[in-house]
Structure 1
Amino acid sequence: MTTTVPGPWFLEDFAPGQVFTTQGRTVTESDIVSFAATTWDTNEVHTDSARAAEGRFGERIAHGLLGMSIAMGLVSRLGVFEGSSIALLAVEEWRFLAPIRIGDTVRCQVEILSTRRTSAGDAGVLDRRLTLFGAEEAVVQQGRIPLLVKTKTHPGAPSGSTTR
């Protein structure tokens, strides 16, 4: 089931099985260079075209964490979590399955696995599986990233909110 209603969404609006798909984004050489400079991760597989050409992938590839960061940014642009998210709770079972190459266009799919209200009752947890797709729809990264979200009954929630 694919859902395309704009947000923000609150805990009560989500249900297991909902799927959201982001727009695409092309990974550039500049993205990789900027990420290397920001993180100080200058491993030659990312930054040295001559050495990378001799390596396993035959060219420079994006940092794994750059892929995860882009996935999170794409998910943010969906709008359903903006205005209701409180905090990321973990990164679980994250796998780097294939390289992301310069020029690859990636997109992310978010599946809601489960929802539950916290014991305090003023927030809830969304268990989400994120899947990052790369060139030719190959799964390049995947894992679970639970998110703490507001409920409709939290202070400041819009009055008259209805379940989607």
Structure 2
Amino acid sequence: MTDRTTGMYWEDFSVGMIITTPARTITSTDIVNFACLSGDFNEVHTNWEYCKNTPFGEPIAHGPLVYAVMGGLQYASGVNRNTLLALLQVDKWRMLEPVKHGDTLHAEATVLETKPSKKTDRGVVKLHRKFVRQDGVVVQEMEVSILYRRKPQ
């Protein structure tokens, strides 16, 4: 998506459309900063020695950290700029693979449904989101319903 001053309105989405975001590399600093922000200092995210005896071998990113980064990447794609009103629902959120320091991720969102709202200035878009690692492996997936502005009359 090109740089835009205004994102996509509800009418711009069509079932089957796929939106791909830019990519970002997750760093150890991201993982530590998220632990500090959230207060989640679980050993699997913060303790290298502990993690040597886990299937991961090293600290892994928090699931919500990955979700937050992907939300930022969707904004960076221009889709949500000045048109997103609210995240309404998250369903079927699945953590499929661990995310480690150095993994580069992007999001692919497929439009599943568009539904007008009772209020004529907005509508709901339901998306299937996949968060994809540099090797093509899907690390998380979910369905989300987002409220978007409709085009001005």
Q: TM-score, normalised by structure 1?
A: 0.88
Asked if the contact 1:75/1:108 (under 8 Å) is kept, the reply is yes
* Alpha-carbon shift at residue 61 of structure 1 (Å): 0.6
Tell me how far apart the structure 2 counterparts of residues 81 and 19 of structure 1 sit (CA, whole Å).
14
Does the residue aligned with 2:67 lie in a helix, a strand or coil?
Answer: helix
Does the residue aligned with 2:107 lie in a helix, a strand or coil?
Answer: strand
Asked if the contact 1:75/1:110 (under 8 Å) is kept, the reply is no
Residues 70-126 of structure 1 show CA distances to partners (whole Å, capped at 9, x for unaligned) of 111111111022111100001111100000011000111111111111122221000
Asked if the contact 1:22/1:108 (under 8 Å) is kept, the reply is yes
Q: Which runs of 4 or more aligned residues in structure 1 lie more than 4 Å from their structure 2 counterparts after TM superposition?
A: none
Residue type of the alignment partner of 2:85: I
* Alpha-carbon shift at residue 142 of structure 1 (Å): 0.3
Identity %: 35
Match of 1:49? 48
Q: Which has the larger radius of gyration?
A: 1
Residues 138-163 of structure 1 show CA distances to partners (whole Å, capped at 9, x for unaligned) of 10000011100111136xxxxxxxxx
Tell me how far apart the structure 2 counterparts of residues 8 and 36 of structure 1 sit (CA, whole Å).
31
- Say which structure is richer in strand: 2
Tell me how far apart the structure 2 counterparts of residues 56 and 124 of structure 1 sit (CA, whole Å).
43
When residues 95 and 124 of structure 1 are mapped into structure 2, their CA distance, relative to the original with a 3 A threshold, is same
Segments of 5+ residues of structure 1 without an aligned counterpart are 155-164
Q: TM-score, normalised by structure 2?
A: 0.94
Residue type of the alignment partner of 1:53: K
Tell me how far apart the structure 2 counterparts of residues 149 and 21 of structure 1 sit (CA, whole Å).
18
The correspondence of residues 1-164 of structure 1 with structure 2, limited to 5 A, is 4=1, 6=4, 7-153=6-152
Tell me how far apart the structure 1 counterparts of residues 93 and 60 of structure 2 sit (CA, whole Å).
18
Segments of 5+ residues of structure 2 without an aligned counterpart are none
Tell me how far apart the structure 2 counterparts of residues 122 and 20 of structure 1 sit (CA, whole Å).
23
Asked if the contact 1:106/1:133 (under 8 Å) is kept, the reply is yes
What root-mean-square deviation, in Å, do the aligned CA atoms of Structure 1 and Structure 2 show?
Answer: 1.3
Aligned residues: 151
Tell me how far apart the structure 1 counterparts of residues 79 and 101 of structure 2 sit (CA, whole Å).
29
Residues 1-53 of structure 1 show CA distances to partners (whole Å, capped at 9, x for unaligned) of xxx45542111111101111111100000000000001010000100000011
